[in-house]
Amino acid sequence: MPETMHPHCWRTRMPDIAMLSDAPADWRGDLLQFRRYVDPLVSVITNPRTQTPFTIGVYGTWGSGKSTLLGMVDQRLLDRHGEEFVRVHFNPWVHRRESEMLLPLLNALHNALNQDPGHRFADTVKRLGDIILNLAADEILKRVNLGGASVEKIGKLAQQYAEMRGQVDSQTGRLRGLLQKEADRLAEKGRRIVFFIDDLDRCEPDQIIDVLESIKLFLDLKNVFVLIALSKEVVDRGVSVKYQPFGFPDHAAIADDYLDKIIQLPLHLYPLGPAEVGGFIRGSLLGDLAVRHVATLESIVVPNPRKIKRVLNLLRVTEAIIEGTPGLDDLHMDLVVRLVVLRIQSPELFTHVVRQPALLVALELTYQDKLAVGTFQGFQVRFGARAEEIQQLTSSHHGRHGFLAPLFGGSAFEASEDRLPAYLTMIGG
């Protein structure tokens, strides 16, 4: 048969490869049962007895599903209470190059009101627009480039700036009161405001504090709810940067106190257990390899939705590559699964493994108590001239991550030592 295959034949043999994205899951893709959080939060927001202002902090690590939860609460409010709330979405990371976050935050509210199909909030939109224009003009004048300008022009600009500065100072001082009046006007029309603030973790530390302070100063209003996704560690870092010049010894305690003054309901996402991880893998429908080795994956994949998706995506593509490559029928799929997890969850270790595949054997032996990490003689007997380098690498990585113990404790890399380069090649090594 000629080398160039007819395109229709190739299409019939092409494996069916689906991928999981980082986009927040909706109700149909709720494989991790985020519904358990949504109904209580919606009940809090919609209950007329809930006192406002009210801020909910959704706490979780990177990739734990905070965005998914905010999106589901937003969708539930739209579906069941769409006429009762103005839903405002603000992503501070998109505006990370702004000098301060208040202006884009107000713009988000202005845009949400302006998008009302019935234009029922035209008066509020206009008043907010005037406030935003004044604040924006102040920012523009502060940044104006005076290079090459005449003395006369500089004088006029200085006078204009001084006049505008006075107006803006007055406007900013009254801004909280103005916003409260607008929130009250909306409440009289049967609408309360809900701010959804996401991706704060991706901002610089000083911007994180800027957003939190804007929330406290300008959104701490009656008839206003705020849902904000947070990583406690990131906020701690932001507070540390902010208050380091003052010499406070315990920045973590300051961060706790700082957040307590802003957030009335701290909601921490439950860590996933093996059952949830296994359910996610089975429900994702990403190839046979993941399902066949789900027990192994349950024990070695970190309980983080984003990490799980990356593992499943790479595992599915690797499976397809192996199926389409002659001569790989004898690869042990258990080792492929373990290496894919290692590739995603510890890129640094995987880089060392690619350069020195025998490191896999060394880690396996140490985790299976067949070789002591600190005994050079044992490494010398097993690895010869490579002993010193392999022992150093083993010592630096042994115990660094919790998932390494189950990953190497049940592996059989030593039995396939001669073929380890082929395994690594399949996974991008």
Beta carbons within 10 angstroms of residue 397's beta carbon: 20
Question: According to the model, what pLDDT value does residue 172 have?
Answer: 55
What is the percentage of the chain residues whose pLDDT exceeds 90? 42
Phi-psi bin for 224: left (phi > 0), alpha (psi -120 to 50), beta?
beta
Are residues 282 and 234 both part of a single domain? no
Are residues 246 and 325 both part of a single domain? no
Are residues 137 and 240 both part of a single domain? yes
Q: Is residue 12 part of a domain?
A: no
Q: Tell me which of 33 and 73 has the higher pLDDT.
A: 73
Residue 224, pLDDT above cutoff 80:
yes
Residue 395, pLDDT above cutoff 90:
yes
The tokens describing 378, both together, are 């044992």
Q: What is the mean pLDDT of residues 25-42?
A: 75
Q: Is residue 11 part of a domain?
A: no
For residue 263, the Cα-to-chain-centroid distance in whole angstroms is 20
Are residues 76 and 161 both part of a single domain? yes
Residue 11, pLDDT above cutoff 50:
no
Q: Is residue 17 part of a domain?
A: no
Are residues 145 and 255 both part of a single domain? yes
Q: Tell me which of 162 and 425 has the higher pLDDT.
A: 425
Half-sphere exposure of 330 (CA within 13 A, CB side): 7
Are residues 175 and 229 both part of a single domain? yes
Question: Which of the listed residues 235, 268, 301 is the one where a domain comes to its end?
Answer: 268
Q: Average model confidence (pLDDT) for the chain? A: 82
Question: According to the model, what pLDDT value does residue 303 have?
Answer: 83
Residue 364, pLDDT above cutoff 90:
yes
Are residues 150 and 204 both part of a single domain? yes
- Which residue range is the domain that position 145 belongs to? 33-268
Residue 89, pLDDT above cutoff 90:
yes
Strands (E), 85-201: 85-90, 192-197
Nearest to 406 by CA among 290, 314, 298: 298
Task: Looking at mean pLDDT, say which of 197-206, 230-239, 305-314 comes out highest.
Answer: 305-314
Q: Is residue 99 part of a domain?
A: yes
Q: What is the mean pLDDT of residues 327-331?
A: 80
Which residues does 5 contact at the CB level (< 8 Å), separation at least 6?
A: none
Radius of gyration over every alpha carbon of the chain, rounded to an integer in angstroms: 28
Q: For residue 265, what are the β-bridge partners?
A: 56
Are residues 249 and 350 both part of a single domain? no
Q: What is the mean pLDDT of residues 253-266?
A: 82
Question: According to the model, what pLDDT value does residue 161 have?
Answer: 46
pLDDT band at residue 216 under the 50/70/90 scheme: confident
Question: According to the model, what pLDDT value does residue 127 have?
Answer: 82
Q: Is residue 345 part of a domain?
A: yes
Q: Is residue 239 part of a domain?
A: yes
pTM of the predicted model, to two decimals?
0.70
Q: Is residue 27 part of a domain?
A: no
Question: Which of the listed residues 242, 268, 294 is the one where a domain comes to its end?
Answer: 268
Q: Is residue 26 part of a domain?
A: no
Question: According to the model, what pLDDT value does residue 32 have?
Answer: 67
Are residues 226 and 332 both part of a single domain? no
Are residues 175 and 322 both part of a single domain? no
Lowest mean pLDDT among 95-109, 164-178, 289-303: 164-178
Are residues 207 and 300 both part of a single domain? no
> What CATH number does the domain containing 206 carry?
3.40.50.300
Q: What is the mean pLDDT of residues 167-183?
A: 71
Widest Cα–Cα separation across the chain: 85
The 192-197 sheet, strands edge to edge: 85-90, 192-197, 224-230, 54-59, 265-268
The C-alpha torsion from 113 through 218 and 48 to 127, rounded to 10°, is -30
Are residues 331 and 383 both part of a single domain? yes
Burial class (CB in 10 A: 0-12, 13-18, 19+), 410: middle
Residue 150, pLDDT above cutoff 60:
no
Residue 145, pLDDT above cutoff 50:
no
Domain count across the chain = 2
Query: How far is the C-alpha of 148 from the C-alpha of 154, rounded, in Å?
Result: 10
What single DSSP character describes residue 95?
A: G
Give the pLDDT confidence of 268-320 residue by residue, as tens digits.
987 777 787 888 888 876 778 888 999 999 999 988 888 888 999 999 888 88
Using the structure block, give the residue that is written with the tokens 């959804």. 196
Q: Tell me which of 171 and 285 has the higher pLDDT.
A: 285
Question: Which of the listed residues 213, 234, 268 is the one where a domain comes to its end?
Answer: 268
Residue 246, pLDDT above cutoff 90:
no
